[in-house]
């Protein structure tokens, strides 16, 4: 539940090593969050990191095992109480060339990038609905707004996730719980290391700053940077023959 100053108190990060996710958590703690759960693969093998003045707990979490996601979310709630913000921040980028050569790898990536978020999102939504409050922050991507042939496996998973998040938000309407969809463009970080930045790129910190603003104003969709909203309004209207010739 938000405190008297409007700040959240508890945060669950699924994908506890994510650059974007940790940047969001650090800003929430700076704004007043006191209890944090970081859930990641083999998270409990080491000591919890120091994140401001927050009380930090670690849980093991495997995005590829949806049958365990509900247990992780319930375990987080037992550790810190009601969950004010849940951030699923896991996924793999991969390359279209790799997926063309190895369709099994493509299917495994989609299982994490879409399927893992569906199970984690539904389990989180159940918890937030029962609480009667809380926000699920879904990290989508402009890659899913209109899928390019250069990364269509990754883009199609993000397109599915974006649609799922919007539908889940509609399903939660009136329950006190809500979903905020975040659509960053190219993010310069570990996941994109070695790649040439695209126009209107951002950093994990810039994405986190936009998320914090979105949480404060109860936004439903956050574009990072904001001008991508106008850009993709135009891109959606391009004839397919033109879109097909977009640079790889």
Q: Is 154 a catalytic residue?
A: yes
What contacts 131, CB < 8 A, 6 or more positions away?
Answer: 82, 83, 176, 177
Distance CA 49, CA 53 (A): 11
Tokens, residue 171: 């399903």
For the chain, the 3-state helix, strand and coil shares in percent, each to the nearest 5, are 50, 15, 35
Tokens, residue 84: 């004010």
| 3-state SS, residue 221 | strand
Which member of 90, 99, 123, 154 is catalytic? 154
Distance CA 208, CA 37 (A): 17
Tokens, residue 6: 């409007």
Nearest CA to 31 out of 213, 155, 230, 172 is that of 213
- Residues involved in catalysis: 154
């Amino acid at each position: 539940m938000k405190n008297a100053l409007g700040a959240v108190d508890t945060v669950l990060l699924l994908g506890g090593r994510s650059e974007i996710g940790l940047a969001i958590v650090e800003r929430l703690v700076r704004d007043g969050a006191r209890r944090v759960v970081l859930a990641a693969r083999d998270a409990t093998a080491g000591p919890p990191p120091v994140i401001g003045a927050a009380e930090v707990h670690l849980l093991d979490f495997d995005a590829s095992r949806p049958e365990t996601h509900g247990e992780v979310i319930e375990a987080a709630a037992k550790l810190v109480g009601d969950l004010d913000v849940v951030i699923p921040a896991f996924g793999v980028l991969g390359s279209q060339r790799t997926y063309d050569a190895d369709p099994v790898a493509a299917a495994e990536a989609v299982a994490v990038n879409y399927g893992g978020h569906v199970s984690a999102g539904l389990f989180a939504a159940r918890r937030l609905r029962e609480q009667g409050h809380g926000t699920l922050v879904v990290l989508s991507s402009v890659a899913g707004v209109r899928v390019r042939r250069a990364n269509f496996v990754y883009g199609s998973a993000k397109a599915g996730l974006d649609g799922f998040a919007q539908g889940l938000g509609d399903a939660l309407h009136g329950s006190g719980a809500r979903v905020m969809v975040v659509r960053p463009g190219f993010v310069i970080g570990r996941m994109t290391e070695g790649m040439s930045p695209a126009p209107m790129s951002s950093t994990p910190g810039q994405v986190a700053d936009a998320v914090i603003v979105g949480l404060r104003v109860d936004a439903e969709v956050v574009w990072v940077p904001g001008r991508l909203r106008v850009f993709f309004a135009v891109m959606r209207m391009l004839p397919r023959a033109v879109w097909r010739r977009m640079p790889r």
